[in-house]
Amino acid sequence: MNGRWSVGTGTGSGRRPDVRRALTGGRLLWPDGRLRRGELVLHGERIEAVLPAGAALDGAEALDVTGCVVAPGFVDTHVHGGQGANFMSADPALLGRISAYLAAGGVTSCLAGTASLDVTRTADAVAALAALTGRLAGTGGDTPGITMLGIHLEGPFLNPSFRGVHRSEHLRAPTAAELDRLLDLADGALRVVTLAPELPGGPEAVRRLDDAGVVVALGHSGAGDAEASDAVQAGVRRATHLFNGLPPIHHRDPGPVPVLLTDERVRCEVVADGLHVAPRMLRFAVDVAGPDRIMLVSDGTDVAGLPDGRHRRYEGTEVVVHDGQARTPSGGLAGSVTRLADMVRLMVDTAGVDLADALRMAAQTPARSLGLTDRGTLAAGACADVVVLGDDLRVQRTLAHGSVIYSSSQEDAS
Give the pLDDT score at 141.
58
Contact (Cβ atoms closer than 8 angstroms) between residue 393 and residue 60: no
**Residues paired with residue 153 on neighbouring β-strands, in sequence order:** 193
How far apart CA 167 and CA 344 sit, in angstroms, is: 31
* The domains spanning 11-71+378-413 and 74-369 adopt the same CATH topology: no
- Residue 319's CB is within 10 A of a number of other CB atoms, namely 25
Query: What's the pTM?
Result: 0.95
Contact (Cβ atoms closer than 8 angstroms) between residue 28 and residue 36: yes
Confidence of residue 245 (pLDDT cuts 50, 70, 90): very high
CATH code for the structural domain at 74-369: 3.20.20.140
Query: What value does the mean pLDDT take over residues 186-201?
Result: 98
Q: What phi and psi values does residue 262 have, to the nearest 5 degrees?
A: -100, -10
pLDDT, tens digit, 9 for 90 and up, residues 15-30: 455 789 999 999 999 9
* Catalytic residue list: 299
Across 357-388, b (16+ Cβ under 10 Å) vs e yields bbbbbbbbbbbbbbebeebbbbbeebbbbbbb
CATH architecture of 11-71+378-413: Roll (2.30)
Give the pLDDT score at 414.
29
Q: What phi and psi values does residue 172 have, to the nearest 5 degrees?
A: -160, 160
Confidence of residue 319 (pLDDT cuts 50, 70, 90): very high
* Percent of the chain's residues with pLDDT above 70: 94
How far apart CA 292 and CA 304 sit, in angstroms, is: 27
> Is pLDDT of 139 > 70?
no
Show me where the domains of the chain are located.
11-71+378-413, 74-369
Is 133 strand, coil or helix?
coil
Q: Where are the alpha helices (DSSP H) in 235-380?
A: 256-262, 279-289, 340-349, 355-362, 364-369
pLDDT, tens digit, 9 for 90 and up, residues 328-383: 999 999 999 999 999 999 999 999 999 999 999 999 999 999 999 999 999 999 99
